[in-house]
Amino acid sequence: MPKTGLSSEEIKEKALQIAEEKIRAYSFEKFRLTDIAKELKISQAALYNHFPDKAALLDAISERWLAHMDNTLEHIANKEVPPRQLIVKWFLTYHQLKKEKVLKDPELYKSFNMAAELLKPFIIDHLDNLNRQLLMLVQKAIIAQEIHAKSPENVVQLLLESTISFHHPRMVLDHKDENREGLLKQVVETMLEGFHE
């Protein structure tokens, strides 16, 4: 155990919390690992064991947020509700979670957007999770005969492409001050209506 009395995992968690606070207060460009080590009362070397550089810490913050998003969407995908209805709810929630982050945490969102543009491994994992969840919902909708399609994968691709302006990180940022939920609902429902044999 380190001198702080905190476990390795607790130091990591505390560092993320402090970093989030400092980024909100001063922007992600201005916060420094040395400030976090000082506040935790540990050496820079001890902090580097968890986060070798500033980028690693920023990525860990974004990764934690995406894990929360994945879990929220997974919960929706597993509900015992007609799957076509759940697909609409899933897209609305996906959009709302990103818009909420842009509005409440613009500096943290900037960091996430940079990671997304670089397609870092945790971003790819997140996208894979989204594809898996949506595929599961589409397959359920096909089984329930709520939509008709020979290829559920094709339906997933079309749904994601047609709604890209509602969930692409850059586009969510560009439209952050607009209320677009009604339009998104209309787009998804229109797409689902169009899937037939």
Burial class (CB in 10 A: 0-12, 13-18, 19+), 166: buried
Residues 115-130: pLDDT tens digits? 999 999 999 999 999 9
Residues 87-116: pLDDT tens digits? 999 999 999 999 999 999 998 998 899 899
Q: What is the DSSP letter of 120?
A: -
67 pLDDT more than 80: yes
Q: Please report the domains of the chain, with CATH numbers, ordered by start residue.
A: 8-49 (1.10.10), 55-194 (1.10.357)
3 pLDDT more than 70: no
Rounded mean pLDDT, 61-84: 96
Cα first-last separation, the chain? 63
- Verdict on whether the full-model pTM lies above 0.85: yes
**DSSP string covering 3-14, please?**
TTS--HHHHHHH
- Do residues 69 and 97 touch, judged by C-beta distance below 8 A? yes
Residues 14-46: pLDDT tens digits? 999 999 998 888 887 888 888 899 999 888 888
Rounded mean pLDDT, 61-67: 95
Beta carbons within 10 angstroms of residue 3's beta carbon: 9
Residues 49-58: pLDDT tens digits? 899 998 899 9
Q: Which pLDDT score is estimated for 1?
A: 38
Q: Measure the CA–CA gap between 133 and 90, rounded to whole angstroms.
A: 9
- Which residue in 76, 106, 197, 86 sits closest to 147, CA to CA? 197
Q: Which pLDDT score is estimated for 187?
A: 97
Q: Which pLDDT score is estimated for 30?
A: 82
Return the exposure string of 66-94: e unless at least 16 CB atoms fall within 10 Å of the residue's CB, then b.
Answer: beebbeebeebbeeeeebbebbbbbbbeb
